[in-house]
Structure formats: C-alpha cells, structure tokens
C-alpha cells in the first residue's frame, strides 16, 4: 500500500568547494540518494538537499593562492560538483550555495534574532583556530600542539568576536539526547557526544574580523558570521525558512542529517542548540557514518591520494560504483578503498552472482520456452523455501535501510541472489528439460527464478538506478518501470507469464585484472612518449627556461642505481631501483631508447 502525504527531508553536508570532490564526498551523497530513492519508492514526498559551503577563511585563502576572487574561484568548482552529482545520478531536490541571496538573508535574520534575544554577545576571542577544519580549539583540546581532528598546524587568534551562549542550552540538549535514543546514531557516536557535552560547553565564537569572505553581521559590518554558524543554517534556507512557510512546515524537522563522523559535533551539539535558541523542533536523526580510508590512511588533498569518482564511473559504470560505495561501509565503521577491492566486488557480486543469475535464467527461458515467461504451477517445499527467503529479504532490506545500515541492506539482497543461484543447482532445470513430463515443473522453477530476480532488482534499485531498465530490456518483467514501488518487492508472484524474454547485453562484464594492468602500462608508455616528444620539441625550439625561483624549489639528490631492467611490453620504459642514502626507491623512467639497463647499474 502506498503511504500518501508522507514527507521526508534528508540532507548531506554542504561541501567546501575549495577543491574538486573525491569518493569520500561521493559516498555521503550516494548514500543519501539511496535513502531518498528508497523513500520515494515507498510513496513519500522527498526533499533531498545538498549544496556547497562557500564562505570562510579557507576558501578565501585558496582563492588568493590562485590569484582569483573567491567567487570566481568557487564558481568553477561548484559547476564541477553539480556535474559530478549528475554523473552519479543523484536526485537532489535542491542544491544550495551559501553565497546565494536567499541564504544570506536568512543567516542575517537569524543572527539578528538570536542577538536581540540576548543569546549572542560581544567579547574577545583568544585561542587556537584550525583553518582546514574552520574550528576553534582551546589550548587544552590541542594534541601535541596540533588540531585534534586533522592533526594539522593551528593558528593563534586574538580578535573581537560575537559569542553564542551555548552553555545556556547544554542541559536541555542532554535531556533531549537522553529522551530520544534515535536522535544521534550510531549508538557509539551518541555516547561520544554525551561525554563531550558533559565535559562542559564553552560559548561559541560566531564571528570573525580578520578576513572578509563571509556574510556580514547585520548590525556590525566589521564582522562576518562564523562559517559554521552560516553553513548549518542552509538546512533551513533550503526548505524555505522565512520565505515559504508552507514548504517549511511540510518538511521541518528534518528526518535525517547524514554526514561522516568528522563533523558530527557541529550537527549534534551546535546545530541543535541554534535550533533551540530559535525555538524550532530538532531534527529527528543525525547520523554519522565512518570514513572511506585508503591504505595510506585518510584521503586528503594534501597527501595527494584522493580518488576521483568521475574516473571510476567512466571505467566501471555508475551502477557498479554506487553499488561498491553503498556496500563497502559497515554500519558506523570506516571502510577501505582500493581499486583491486572494487574490481573484486564488481566481479563477484555483480558479474558472477547477479549477472549470471539473470543471464542463465533468460537463456533457459529462451531455450525451453521460446522466450515466454512460463506459468508457475503447484509449488513444492523447495519453492516455498525460496519464496520465504525472498519475503525475508524484503523485510530485512527494509529494516536495514530504515536504520541506514547500508551495507547490511545490500548483504540481504546478495543473499537472495546466492540463494536463487543455488536453487538452480538444486533443481537442475537442464535435467527437467530432458523429460517432457517435467515441462510444468521446469516452468515453475524458471518462473520462481524470474520472481527472485524481479525482487532483487527492485530492492537494489535505490542503489543501482539504471539496473531495472537495463535488466528489463531482456527480461521484460516490469510493466511500468518509472513507477517501481518498494512494496512490489514484498509480493510474490506478480511477474506476468507469457511476457517475452530477449537476449541482451551482458549487464556486468567481468573485469580482467591482467588486461587492466596491461592497459595501465600501455597508458603509461603513451604518456612517456608524449612527454618525451614534448621535451624534444622544447629543446629543439630552445624555448623558455625555468626561472631561478623554480630552480630554488627543486630538491636535487644523487642516487645510486642498484638494479635496472626493461619493462615488459613497454618499449620506452626502464624500471630502476635506486638507493638514496639509507632509502631505496623504484623509479619507472622513459629512457629505454637511450640506455641499456647494464649501462646504468652502478
Ligand atoms: N562544509 C562542511 C560541512 C558543513 S555542513 C553544514 C564540511 N565540508 S567537507 O567538504 O569537508 O565535507 C565533509 C563531509 O564529506 C564529511 O562529513 C563526509 O560526509 C564527506 N567526506 C569527506 N571525506 C570523506 C571520507 N574519506 N569518507 C567518507 N566521507 C567523507 O565539512
């Protein structure tokens, strides 16, 4: 049954457009999209808000470093972010930019209101500031003199500031958290927040005077509003606070604010207190997922190890990347990313299990029933058991998604797929096909497989939005693909016998590791060729030299080549093992046409 007139409001953090986004940001946005699609399939009206957090010292500095105005600097990046969300098939209702007029007005109105009621006062801030996190710290909170969150250098600030009376609301917030066990999730994070509040809340510095890139404090233009105070308000602006009362009433309080654990405190402490000061109800849930980690630790631009989701989508397809992201992170835990793990996951879950189930079933229906989905007859106990597994999968997947336990939800779906594959092995349709008297039984088996596939596809549709349509081209099981309902996955036996199955493309081709490695090598070789040719052109034309400043930035070192060999299947590349003092390194160099390996050793 469709639940009408139900409203659901979900948000992601608004990201800093200080740089292009990576798969960590894509994770949150895809996960939120998965919930938005799931709820839409359940018949809810959805407001899904994402956007960009465009003010603050960090953005101003990034722009100055590039010799640009902040606005010009961010416009470019924001347009890339929008394109990224299109590429990932994100179905946000609105994209908010904090530099928009509609937002500035709301922030100024709120600042004024909280000031007028005496919850904001003028004083002087003296303490530490972490620029990458845009966060204030006391001396006591620093770890080895560095930022306790990102471990980077902090700067000492001393400036006149407005302060927000957080301390006044600490008790009320603790009571709220205790009375609403679902408010902060998962549980372990909730306990962290409680302990943090109990250790005492200082009033929060909510304005800055030493830079300009922010929303001016309405009654004192020397100050700009602190970027977090400004940013959190986006969740109100986005649904029409102070401009569209009807829309606002429809969607506030938010159902879920989704984010990673790094910014939970802002959402679970500062934000609710701001809302209390405004006399607004608090969001129903603030959910902090873990981080996507790489082998070398957390992804960050400064480490130079960020993974660009656009490249992955181009290589493996959007459904596969979305699937990987949603599956890889266990509830509230960190998840690891490597391309090998991604390829393994695609090969095992999608190419082997799901892809094979679909292609085997379609092939058998074509071979034994001229492509017409057969009619099921009386079920046996093995069929009943399959049906029960499907029903249980529906219930399980629903519960897990409601809890935002993304990975467990997909694990339920893959269990159904494995069970169906096993059912093929157990029922041996190829043997039934040899006996004309078993034709009805064969039809029942194949119909049951179609039902499992249909149910799995509906359940996976919020994660893999292209899957239903791609699969339907061959299976022809959905009459109205635009309006798949979640509930239809809870019903057994609704595929229509007689519908025509066709041969189609392989939905998830197996990725060949070796081929991939060879391709990487070929690309590298080609790149070396290009660089080499460009260098030759440069020397021939006697073009510009680098300046003395560029030269001063070089770090030149003498190393001993201790081994050297030609790289297989690459005519320009040598692999050099070099020793620099105590350290050894491997270098791939495009000089094979000029040196033999033996000439170089030593
Ligand atoms: N602008 C603030 C948020 C303001 S919300 C009112 C901000 N922006 S951010 O660009 O740094 O984005 C942080 C968020 O990006 C994280 O909370 C998380 O949602 C996502 N992620 C960034 N890196 C991530 C990983 N490595 N792994 C998982 N999520 C990650 O903070």
Choosing from 16, 26, 28 the residue with most ligand 1 atoms within 8 A of its CB, the one to mutate for a pocket test is: 28
3-state secondary structure of 547: coil
With a cut of 90, say whether residue 241 has pLDDT above it.
yes
Query: Is residue 208, in this structure, part of any structural domain at all?
Result: no
3-state secondary structure of 196: helix
Query: Is residue 537, in this structure, part of any structural domain at all?
Result: yes
Task: Using a pLDDT cut of 90, give the percent of the chain over it.
Answer: 77
pLDDT recorded at residue 28: 97
* Residue range 22-29: mean pLDDT, rounded: 96
With a cut of 50, say whether residue 3 has pLDDT above it.
no
With a cut of 50, say whether residue 582 has pLDDT above it.
yes
Residues 354 and 439 occupy one common structural domain:
yes
Residues 451 and 550 occupy one common structural domain:
no
Distances in whole angstroms, Cα of residue 474 to Cα of each of 107, 318, 352, 450: 52, 20, 18, 12
Q: What is the CATH number of the domain that holds 398?
A: 1.10.730.10
Distance 2 CA to ligand 1 centre (A): 34
Distance 260 CA to ligand 1 centre (A): 6
Residues 347 and 473 occupy one common structural domain:
yes
Please identify, by atom number, the ligand 1 atom nearest to the C-alpha of residue 262.
17
CB-based pocket (< 6 A), ligand 1: 13-16, 24-25, 27-28, 53, 231-232, 234, 259-260, 262-263, 291-292, 298-299
Give the strand pairing for 560-566 and 574-580. Answer: antiparallel
CB contact set of 490 (below 8 Å; sequence gap of 6+): 391, 394, 395, 398
pLDDT recorded at residue 541: 60
With a cut of 50, say whether residue 1 has pLDDT above it.
no
Residues 355 and 417 occupy one common structural domain:
yes
Sign of the four-CA dihedral 532, 534, 535, 539:
positive
* Alpha-helix runs per DSSP H in 403-512: 406-427, 429-432, 439-460, 467-475
Query: By mean pLDDT, which of 132-141, 181-190, 566-575 is the weakest?
Result: 566-575
pLDDT recorded at residue 403: 96
Residues 595 and 482 occupy one common structural domain:
no
Distance 134 CA to ligand 1 centre (A): 13
pLDDT recorded at residue 540: 61
Residues 352 and 453 occupy one common structural domain:
yes
Distance 154 CA to ligand 1 centre (A): 20
Residues 346 and 472 occupy one common structural domain:
yes
* Residue range 540-568: mean pLDDT, rounded: 76
Q: Which range in 124-133, 234-243, 537-546 is most confidently predicted, on average pLDDT?
A: 234-243
With a cut of 50, say whether residue 2 has pLDDT above it.
no
> Side by side, which strands form the sheet with 220-225?
207-208, 220-225, 216-217
pLDDT digits (tens, 9 = 90+) for 249-278: 999 999 999 999 999 999 999 999 999 999
- Measuring from atom 17 of ligand 1, which residue has the nearest CA? 260
* Cross-strand bridge partners of residue 589: 574
Q: At which of 438, 455, 490 does a domain end? A: 490
- 329 band by pLDDT with thresholds 50, 70 and 90: confident
Choosing from 262, 300, 306, 334 the residue with most ligand 1 atoms within 8 A of its CB, the one to mutate for a pocket test is: 262
Query: Is residue 257, in this structure, part of any structural domain at all?
Result: no
Query: Is residue 527, in this structure, part of any structural domain at all?
Result: yes
Choice between 518 and 205, residue whose per-residue pLDDT is larger: 205
Please identify, by atom number, the ligand 1 atom nearest to the C-alpha of residue 15.
10
Rounded Cα distance between 52 and 31, Å, is 17
With a cut of 50, say whether residue 477 has pLDDT above it.
yes
With CA atoms as reference, report the closest residue to 230 among 120, 326, 103.
103
Residues 343 and 456 occupy one common structural domain:
yes
| Dihedrals phi, psi of 52, to nearest 5 degrees | -135, 145
Q: What is the CATH number of the domain that holds 561?
A: 2.40.50
Rounded Cα distance between 558 and 590, Å, is 19
Query: Is residue 443, in this structure, part of any structural domain at all?
Result: yes
With a cut of 70, say whether residue 299 has pLDDT above it.
yes
Query: Is residue 395, in this structure, part of any structural domain at all?
Result: yes
Contact 233, 262 (CB under 8 A): no
pTM: 0.86
Give the strand pairing for 583-589 and 135-137. Answer: unpaired
Angle at 390 between CA 389 and CA 392, to 5 degrees: 65
Q: At which of 490, 525, 555 does a domain end? A: 490
Query: Is residue 173, in this structure, part of any structural domain at all?
Result: no
pLDDT recorded at residue 195: 96
Query: Is residue 195, in this structure, part of any structural domain at all?
Result: no
Residues 543 and 596 occupy one common structural domain:
yes
pLDDT digits (tens, 9 = 90+) for 489-539: 999 999 999 999 998 999 999 998 777 777 777 777 777 777 767 766 666
pLDDT recorded at residue 543: 55
Range of the domain at 360: 338-490
- 556 band by pLDDT with thresholds 50, 70 and 90: confident
Q: Which range in 140-144, 450-454, 572-576 is most confidently predicted, on average pLDDT?
A: 450-454
Residues 365 and 442 occupy one common structural domain:
yes
pLDDT digits (tens, 9 = 90+) for 350-363: 999 999 999 999 99
Residues 397 and 352 occupy one common structural domain:
yes
Please identify, by atom number, the ligand 1 atom nearest to the C-alpha of residue 232.
6
Domain count, the chain: 2
Cα-to-chain-centroid distance, residue 240: 26
- 469 band by pLDDT with thresholds 50, 70 and 90: very high
Can you read off the two tokens belonging to residue 329?
């992170």
> Side by side, which strands form the sheet with 560-566?
560-566, 574-580, 583-589
Residues 461 and 541 occupy one common structural domain:
no
* Residue range 106-115: mean pLDDT, rounded: 98
Q: At which of 437, 457, 490 does a domain end? A: 490
């Amino acid at each position: 049954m469709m639940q009408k007139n139900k409203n659901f409001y979900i948000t992601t953090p608004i990201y800093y457009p200080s740089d292009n986004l990576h798969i960590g940001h894509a994770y949150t946005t895809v996960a939120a999209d998965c919930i938005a699609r799931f709820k839409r399939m359940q018949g809810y009206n959805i407001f899904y808000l994402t956007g960009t957090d465009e003010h603050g010292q960090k953005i101003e500095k990034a722009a100055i470093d590039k010799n640009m105005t902040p606005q010009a600097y961010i416009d470019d990046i924001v347009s890339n972010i929008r394109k990224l969300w299109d590429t990932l098939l994100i179905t946000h209702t609105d994209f908010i930019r904090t530099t928009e007029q509609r937002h500035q007005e709301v922030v100024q109105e709120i600042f004024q209101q909280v000031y007028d009621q005496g919850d904001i006062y003028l004083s002087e801030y003296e303490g530490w500031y972490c620029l990458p996190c845009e966060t204030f710290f006391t001396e006591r909170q620093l770890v080895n003199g560095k930022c306790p969150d990102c471990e980077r250098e902090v700067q000492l600030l001393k400036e006149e500031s407005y302060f927000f009376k957080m301390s006044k609301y600490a008790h009320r917030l603790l009571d709220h958290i205790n009375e609403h066990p679902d408010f902060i999730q998962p549980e372990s994070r909730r306990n962290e927040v409680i302990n943090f509040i109990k250790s005492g809340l200082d009033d929060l510095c909510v304005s800055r005077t030493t830079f300009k890139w922010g929303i001016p404090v309405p009654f004192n233009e020397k100050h700009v509003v602190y970027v977090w105070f400004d940013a959190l308000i986006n969740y109100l602006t986005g649904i029409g606070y102070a401009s569209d009362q009807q829309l606002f009433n429809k969607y506030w309080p938010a159902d879920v604010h989704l984010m990673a654990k790094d910014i939970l405190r802002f959402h679970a402490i500062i934000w609710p207190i701001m809302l209390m000061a405004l006399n607004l109800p608090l969001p129903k849930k603030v959910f902090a997922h873990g981080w996507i980690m790489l082998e070398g630790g957390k992804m960050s631009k400064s480490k130079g190890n960020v993974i660009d989701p656009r490249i992955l989508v181009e290589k493996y397809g959007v459904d596969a990347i979305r699937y990987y992201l949603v599956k890889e992170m266990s509830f509230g835990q960190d998840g690891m990313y490597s391309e090998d793990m991604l390829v393994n996951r695609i090969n095992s879950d999608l190419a082997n299990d799901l892809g094979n189930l679909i292609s085997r079933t379609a092939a058998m229906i074509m071979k034994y029933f001229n492509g017409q989905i057969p009619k099921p007859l009386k079920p046996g106990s093995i069929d009943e058991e399959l049906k029960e597994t499907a029903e249980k999968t529906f219930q399980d997947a629903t519960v897990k998604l409601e809890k935002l336990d993304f990975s467990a939800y997909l694990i339920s779906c893959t269990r159904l797929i494995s069970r169906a594959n096993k059912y093929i092995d157990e029922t041996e349709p190829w043997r039934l096909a040899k006996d004309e008297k078993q034709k009805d039984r064969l039809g029942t088996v194949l119909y049951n497989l179609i039902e499992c596939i249909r149910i799995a596809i509906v359940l996976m549709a919020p994660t893999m939005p292209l899957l239903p349509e791609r699969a339907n081209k061959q299976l022809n099981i959905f009459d109205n693909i635009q309006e798949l309902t979640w509930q239809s996955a809870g019903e057994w036996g609704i595929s229509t016998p007689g519908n025509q199955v066709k041969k189609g493309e392989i939905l998830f081709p197996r990725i060949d590791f070796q081929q991939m490695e060879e391709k990487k090598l070929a690309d590298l070789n080609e790149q070396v060729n290009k660089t080499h040719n460009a260098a030759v052109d440069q020397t021939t034309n006697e073009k510009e030299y680098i300046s003395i400043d560029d030269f001063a930035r070089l770090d030149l070192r003498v190393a001993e080549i201790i081994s050297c060999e030609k790289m297989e299947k690459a005519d320009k590349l040598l692999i050099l093992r070099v020793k620099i003092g105590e350290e050894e390194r491997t270098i791939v160099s495009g000089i094979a046409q000029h040196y033999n390996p033996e000439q170089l050793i030593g």
